[in-house]
Amino acid sequence: LQKSLSETFGADKYSRARKEVLTYMFSRPMQMALYFCTGVLRDEALFHHYALNVPFYTHFTSPIRRYADIVVHRLLAASLGGRSPIKMEKEAIQKQADHCNDRKMASKRVQELSADLFFSVFVRVRP
């Protein structure tokens, strides 16, 4: 697949754009990660990370990027004793996680539609 894609990218002024669009389109079917509150889910198998093959997994980036990452940082710090516990019920945390998932999915959908539009324009003007 990589060899085929590399040949498709070519070496003209559009090769980088073609590579980005096609790589994005091939990665689209991958399952998107979801935020959830572990205190709400009873099945610990849902905490498993398939690709890394680890039973428990959490992920976050810099807390300046997304609200969900701020929540994860605060919860992790509280669980490690680095700060006082969060004064939120687990159902409220799950409600915040659901909201973050909804916003993330909406953003991803807009990104996909934008990529589809630009790909269509690219195909149309490409001889």
Q: What is the DSSP string of 33-74?
A: P----TTT---GGGG-BTTTTBSS------TTT-HHHHHHHH
Q: What is the number of other CB atoms lying within 10 angstroms of the CB of residue 96? A: 15
Q: What is the pLDDT of residues 56-84, one digit of tens each?
A: 888 777 777 778 888 888 888 998 999 99
Residue 55, pLDDT above cutoff 90: no
pTM beyond cutoff 0.75: no
- Please state, in angstroms and rounded to a whole number, the distance separating the CA atoms of residues 25 and 102: 21
